[in-house]
Amino acid sequence: MPQAENAAADRVFGASRIVYTAHRTGGHLLLGQLGTGRPALTASYDADNIFAKILRGEIPCHKVYEDDNVIAFMDVMPQSAGHTLIVPKAASRNLLDADPAVLAAVVPLLQRIAVAAKEAFGADGVSMMQFNEAAGGQTVYHLHFHVIPRYEGVPLQAHGRGMEDPGVLAANAEKLRAALEATG
| Contact positions vs ligand 5GP (CB under 6 A) | 50, 61, 73-77, 131, 137-140, 159-160
**Smallest separation, CB 116 to ligand 5GP (Å):** 18
From 28, 144, 146, 159, the catalytic residue: 144
Q: Length of the chain, please?
A: 184
Q: Is 142 a catalytic residue?
A: no
Q: What is the number of the residue whose Cβ is closest to ligand 5GP?
A: 77
**Smallest separation, CB 102 to ligand 5GP (Å):** 17
Orientation of helix 166-183 relative to helix 100-120, angle to 10°: 100
Q: β-strands 84-88, 125-129: how paired?
A: unpaired
Provide the 3-class DSSP secondary structure of residue 127: strand
Considering beta carbons, is residue 15 or 140 the nearer one to ligand 5GP?
Answer: 140
Considering beta carbons, is residue 5 or 48 the nearer one to ligand 5GP?
Answer: 48
**Smallest separation, CB 3 to ligand 5GP (Å):** 41
C-alpha 113/C-alpha 23 separation (Å) is 32
Report the amino acid identity of residue 92: S
C-alpha 160/C-alpha 140 separation (Å) is 10
* Residues identified as active-site: 144
